[in-house]
Amino acid sequence: MKRFGGMATYLGAITLIVLIGGIGLVYSSSPTPAPTGFSTPTLNQNPGSQSVSNGFPEPTGDTFAQDQAVFEEQDGVDNGLGPVYNAQSCVNCHQNPNTGGNSQVTELRVGHTDSRRNFQNPTIYINDGANTIANRSLINDRATCPQAQERVPSTETVRALRASLNTLGDGFVEAIDSNTLYGISLNQPYQSYGYIYGEFIQVPVLEASGQIRGGRFGWKNQHASLLSFASDAYINEQGITNRLSPTDTTTVCKTTSDPEDQTDSLGMADIDHFATFMRGTKAPPVDSVLMATADAQAGSSLFNSIGCSICHVAAITTAPAGTVINGGAYTVPAALGNMTINPYSDFLLHDVGTGDGVLQNGPSDTTNKLRTPPLWGLRTKSRLMHDLQSYTRSDAILRHGHEASLVIYNYQALTTTQKNQILTFLDAL
């Protein structure tokens, strides 16, 4: 039986990067391990006051505590909530084990396919058919009035749940050079006998008009920057318009003027505080005691040898400090630059047989592909996969197919002891 070799490493004093349009050598000093820790406790009194950032430089007058407080702020109809929405606050969907973390919350996506089996966004009728919400796969579970409530028409036969994603450590993910992700995608077929071929896509950067960058946020890699991600979530999950997403989905029962997200005394809007908070969070830590055990160490080696690490990449290094990214709108600071992170993800799109059938931002072949979910912080999740429908680590592994089919064949060929060692390793992440 053939097994996969170890994952190529994209770090070190001399790093080989396959460029989008060429091959080059990038010389840099030895990278520094990124700071880790669950250090953003959710407090009722003085939110953010006990939190510790990764050292990200705050805008003048701002603090990490204030950014977290805005991330946790509960919005209402009086400041723009809705008319259709899923939650009143970012923290409602990103909280376990503390603010910014994993979620037990899912959102609903629907649509249909045309005669050529291409995905089509739906038109949703609201207000007893008098009004519509068109060209949007997201169905909001909540509304500020009965007339605006969305419901799934029987015509929309593509139906999928998606879990809200962890945002801790996402500042480091944003700081990864797109060429690094592209290089990983090019290497994967050679590592997997042609089975695995992660797809790298480039998507618009909302804060840099006309600019694109390698996608890395969202289940479909629909965003490349944290400010774009924050803007999208504010309008789609809370129904609050902002300078990058200035128009509400519907005017039914709308009582406020667009854009609803206004700047504060620091000149920052809520979406700026959201992005600054996420950029300032530490990466999720491992359980160092469990990880040091013989079983976890053996499981880590098996995880690599059977091919899991081809997609769940253990280590990636961020771009050097001073690198200009996001279409020129953002410069990687020293707190995030040239840092080694351990996300256990390639941040690429793959078809492992669990795709949701929804198309967003990418080309048509991404309809049944999903971003490799980072496994850092996995021990804080009780339910797994994009829809939270897998209830054990083993269930989640065995749901993999298609590109991952040979990896699963290797996993099934292991002894019970070896499988348990892999599960112990996963429990330490």
The model's pTM is 0.93
**Total structural domains in the chain?**
1
- Residues 376 and 379: their CA atoms lie apart, in Å, by 8
Contact criterion met (CB below 8 Å) for 245 and 261: no
Identify the CA nearest to 96 among candidates 347, 378, 387, 345.
378
241's CB contacts (< 8 A; 6+ apart) are 80, 234, 235, 247, 248, 258, 259, 260, 261
Identify the CA nearest to 204 among candidates 221, 220, 219, 224.
224
Judged by DSSP in three states, 166 sits in coil
β-bridge partners, 23: 18
Q: What number of residues does the chain have?
A: 429
**Alpha-carbon separation of residue 8 from 186, 239, 345 (angstroms):** 11, 42, 13
Contact criterion met (CB below 8 Å) for 364 and 238: no
Give me the residue label for tokens 């840092």. Answer: 339
Contact criterion met (CB below 8 Å) for 207 and 227: yes
Domain around 241 = 1-429
Identify the CA nearest to 68 among candidates 47, 97, 96.
47
Residuewise pLDDT in 10s, the chain (429 residues): 334 443 333 333 333 334 443 333 344 589 999 999 999 999 999 999 999 999 999 999 999 999 999 999 999 999 999 999 999 999 999 999 999 999 999 999 999 999 999 999 999 999 999 999 999 999 999 999 999 999 999 999 999 999 999 999 999 999 999 999 999 999 999 999 999 999 999 999 999 999 999 999 999 999 999 999 999 999 999 999 999 999 999 999 999 999 999 999 999 999 999 999 999 999 999 999 999 999 999 999 999 999 999 999 999 999 999 999 999 999 999 999 999 999 999 999 999 999 999 999 999 999 999 999 999 999 999 999 999 999 999 999 999 999 999 999 999 999 999 999 999 999 999
